[in-house]
Structure 1
Amino acid sequence: MRHKPSAFYHGDAAALLPVICEVSHALGHGVLFLDGALMQFSLDELAGAACRITRDAMLCGRVLVLSDGPMIWALSKRLGVPHFMMTTAPEDMDHAVALAPPNDAVGAWETRVPDGLHNRDAQIAAVCGSYQLTPAQVERSVRGGGYGLAPDLWHAAQAHVSNTMGPLAERVEARARWDDLILPVAQKQALSQMTTFLTHRGQVIDDWGFGASSTRGLGMAAVFFGPSGTGKTTAAEAIVREMAPDGGGPVPLYRVNVAGLVSKYIGEKAKNFACVFEAVRRSGAALLFDGVEGLFGKRTTQVKDSNDKHSNAELGFLLQCLEAYPGIACLTLQARDFAGCCLAGCIASQTLLSGLHEVL
């Protein structure tokens, strides 16, 4: 018999785990904790893994607690015992406990960072502008910062969140420079407009107050289309390389494993997509989707079966994730007509604060 999660916890798992342990011990139960980030099963291995985990939990008489990870929802559906989940990808649940986000990110850093840190205020401002960390995560980042001659808050925060992507994406170094791009004037101007938008969006969104009216459309999604070898990936790397903030390090760039997002199970693709975006939302990273033809299918008004219905729903969810993501998302594909049909909704909704740019 398969069980839904008995309770679902949304927020900082590390801050919540001690609370779950304390409550469980008060009720006379131990805790069996599974780190979802370390679980790297293939779909064929999931059934066997779920059976072994169910067996161990029942034999030990412990409360089973699962933390977030790329395969955690697929594993949860196959477990044979009630369990608790701590994740960032909401789904239908029996009970939900939401953890409030920090109200004062700057204050969380200021109370934990020594006053004598070199360029302290600039470092705090840079890291707060790029990373969304809870006070518990800030505490661990500061503690692991290695305060030597030149401690670096940026890299301390980046190291804390760099392992949350799992096998769905890999960190790549943006080596391409602006001068490496050999493009016609129109395309070069389009890329220049993107970097200008990204450079000044903090002033528009924060200082001018446009970000207070909506949480959507605060980032940028760019679609690069053209045959292989035309410089689509190079253009994405060049834009990201230009985005190093004052007082901070380079913006991390992750190449998404598009094949890894696709699953034969209905709904798994959307959950994987949500997992990627939630991880990079906390890390302030840029995303590169290389070859998105397999992700973005055509919307159809003639729903003939359940596959068409779920395909439309998944496409709508993916586009919503792009619209809500406050960072940079670059997508590459080879056919312009494909971009025109499947991303029409995003292209039509360009605003002052966001836009879906088609170049190359």
Structure 2
Amino acid sequence: MSHEEQYCLWESHIGSAAAELNGQLERIAVQFNLNHATIQAACDQFKIQNSKFKIQDSTQLWDFCRHNARNQLDHLAQPINATATWDDLVLPTPQRQLLGDIATHLRHKYKVYQQWGFAQKGVRGLGISALFYGASGTGKTMAAEVLAQEFRLDLYRIDLSRVVSKYIGETEKNLRRIFDAAETGSAILLFDEADALFGKRTQVQDSHDRHANIEVSYLLQRMEAYQGLAILTTNFQSALDSAFSRRIRFVVEFPFPGPEIRTQIWQRIFPPMTPTEDLNYQKLGQLNVAGGNIRNIALNAAFFAAAADEAVNMEHIYEATKREYQKLKKMLTNEEIEGWF
């Protein structure tokens, strides 16, 4: 069914309550691709709830639709509980602006695609596709969480290294199953480890190279037509070529954080309930690590402090830093901890 047909069904079954939903019915109709029976069940449940509590709350409808759509995808991908907000995400201004642009496209796609007629030109290119690239721990997954949390969408991680198959035709079959299931709820799809596919894009020298390029083209084609947001992540910019940039709407670099950004991350890393004592965030920003490592250090420091029945202090962070650097096989330099004690 088209979005217009689905909207007519929603409007018919919801009845007079539609006027009380402040335009949310249009957003539900364009976000979820549900059959007639499911739409009727959602409306019946909504009317029963509202006759009992006398509250017109569109989140009930939204959550019912999410629940039904979720059943299609849970066995194909890993759900991520999105709790991060814009305040948790520390990035330079250009990157935040690009993420804000993605949010704008998600927020106004009904108006542009349906009311302003862009969908009538064909489905190709209507998908909101993005590529996030940067070193591990720089915030790619958190950015996807922020978008999912703001728009009350389900977020699923798909490990492309597991989807890609050595058998001809199997990779496309795996991708088709994922996208077909996701279309029901237009969930945010996070294709992790995209290098597994990009690394196979080469000049065609034999049939295997040709098929590897077909797999990439199929993924990009489905991303262009997908009604939700599909995000590819990769650690290596060198894996990309101009063909990707042309067919993906947003390309966002997640740079390794400099001292100023690291200081801001440290200032936000501890929950308000965590007791801290004499933490020098400016000095902590000297540690030359990404945000993911900062979180690991902060968490370990909290456990050290809890074991000592103390507030988290610089000594606990120092001990946690040594453990994290040992794991990273890095040397902790004097410059990084200068002035800590």
TM-score if structure 1 supplies the norm length? 0.62
Structure 1 position 233 matched with structure 2 position 141: yes
> How far off its partner does 1:314 sit?
1.3
> How far off its partner does 1:131 sit?
0.5
Following superposition of structure 1 onto structure 2, how do residues 203-352 of structure 1 map, counting pairs within 5 Å?
203-242=111-150, 244=151, 250-304=152-206, 306-338=207-239, 340-341=240-241, 344-349=242-247
Which structure 1 residue ranges, 5 or more long, are not aligned?
Answer: 1-99, 245-249
Instruction: Work out the CA distance in 2 between the residues paired with 1:226 and 1:332.
Output: 8
> How far off its partner does 1:140 sit?
4.1
Bigger Rg, which one = 2
SS in 2 for 1:230: coil
Q: Percent identity?
A: 34
Please tell me whether the aligned partners of residues 297 and 311 of structure 1 are also in contact (alpha carbons under 8 angstroms): no
> How far off its partner does 1:102 sit?
7.6
Instruction: Work out the CA distance in 1 between the residues paired with 2:177 and 2:194.
Output: 17
Please tell me whether the aligned partners of residues 126 and 154 of structure 1 are also in contact (alpha carbons under 8 angstroms): no
Following superposition of structure 1 onto structure 2, how do residues 120-135 of structure 1 map, counting pairs within 5 Å?
120=21, 122-135=23-36
Instruction: Work out the CA distance in 1 between the residues paired with 2:245 and 2:24.
Output: 36
Instruction: Work out the CA distance in 2 between the residues paired with 1:236 and 1:359.
Output: 13
Q: CA distance change for structure 1 residues 349 and 254 in 2, over 3 Å: closer, same or farther?
A: closer
Instruction: Work out the CA distance in 2 between the residues paired with 1:194 and 1:116.
Output: 31
> How far off its partner does 1:337 sit?
0.7
Instruction: Work out the CA distance in 2 between the residues paired with 1:102 and 1:221.
Output: 20
**1:357 alignment counterpart:** 251
SS in 2 for 1:221: strand
Instruction: Work out the CA distance in 2 between the residues paired with 1:239 and 1:163.
Output: 21
**1:113 alignment counterpart:** 14
Q: CA distance change for structure 1 residues 257 and 335 in 2, over 3 Å: closer, same or farther?
A: closer
Instruction: Work out the CA distance in 2 between the residues paired with 1:296 and 1:124.
Output: 39
Q: CA distance change for structure 1 residues 307 and 193 in 2, over 3 Å: closer, same or farther?
A: same
Instruction: Work out the CA distance in 1 between the residues paired with 2:235 and 2:143.
Output: 14
Which structure 2 residue ranges, 5 or more long, are not aligned?
Answer: 255-341
Q: CA distance change for structure 1 residues 155 and 185 in 2, over 3 Å: closer, same or farther?
A: closer
- Note the alpha carbon deviations across 1:259-301, whole angstroms, 9 max, x for none: 4423343211111111111222221211111221113334333
- For residue 199 of structure 2, what is the amino acid of its counterpart? G
Counting helix residues as a fraction of each chain, which structure ranks higher? 2
Q: CA distance change for structure 1 residues 112 and 204 in 2, over 3 Å: closer, same or farther?
A: closer
**1:75 alignment counterpart:** none
**2:272 alignment counterpart:** none
**1:196 alignment counterpart:** 104
Instruction: Work out the CA distance in 2 between the residues paired with 1:197 and 1:101.
Output: 20
Counting strand residues as a fraction of each chain, which structure ranks higher? 1
Q: CA distance change for structure 1 residues 146 and 292 in 2, over 3 Å: closer, same or farther?
A: farther
Structure 1 position 179 matched with structure 2 position 91: no
Please tell me whether the aligned partners of residues 42 and 64 of structure 2 are also in contact (alpha carbons under 8 angstroms): yes
Instruction: Work out the CA distance in 2 between the residues paired with 1:140 and 1:295.
Output: 41
Cα RMSD between the aligned structures? 2.6
Please tell me whether the aligned partners of residues 168 and 260 of structure 1 are also in contact (alpha carbons under 8 angstroms): no
Following superposition of structure 1 onto structure 2, how do residues 14-53 of structure 1 map, counting pairs within 5 Å?
none
TM-score if structure 2 supplies the norm length? 0.65
The number of aligned residues is 247
